[in-house]
Amino acid sequence: MSTRSQWHEIELPVQPAALFNLLLAPKAIRGRWNNTAAVVTEVDGAWVIAWGARENDPDYVSGARIKSFQAPKLVKLAFDYSRARSGMLPFANGMTAELAITQKGQGSLLRVTHAGLPADNDDYFNAVADGWRAALQGLGAILMPPQQPNPRR
């Protein structure tokens, strides 16, 4: 099967170690994907995440092997299993997601590279892009909340 990749990045006002920890925290995952429930577990190099609006009936479940874990700068996952509420995603095997963090000025640059996406499925490719954009915007909102107007005149 022919595949393609995409990448997304965001600059954030936090040091790499703090950002790395935030990427893996279930509360932050819920916040950046705007979900009420997310479970992340890592056991012997396997990473499983379930997320969605319902804790007992998640919208999505993905399982991946951790291919590289270099705190605080890199996590690379190789997906073995993915399903949506509508059913299994048959092309998930072979996909990878690499989250790389570098120092950028006083903060960090997070770059996500998602590879192995099916070349013949534009809807899925676009949905993945939308998902990463939303996740990065959500992460930015957690770290850079909107300024409140000053009530003084």
Which residue type occupies 76?
A: K
pLDDT of residue 93: 75
**pLDDT for res 119:** 92
End-to-end CA distance of the chain: 63
**Per-residue confidence (pLDDT) for residue 115, from 0 to 100:** 96
| pLDDT score recorded for residue 35 | 62
What is d(CA 130, CA 65) in angstroms, rounded to the nearest whole number? 24
Pick the CATH number of 3-143 from 3.40.30.10, 3.30.530.20, 3.40.190.10, 3.40.50.360: 3.30.530.20
Output the pLDDT for position 4: 96
Q: Is 12 left (phi over 0), alpha (psi -120 to 50) or beta?
A: beta
Whether residue 39 contacts residue 59, with contact meaning beta carbons closer than 8 Å, is answered with no
Domain boundaries, the chain: 3-143
Characterize the bridge pairing of strands 96-104 and 107-118.
antiparallel
Output the pTM of the full model: 0.82
Low-confidence ranges of the chain (pLDDT < 70): 26-39, 145-153
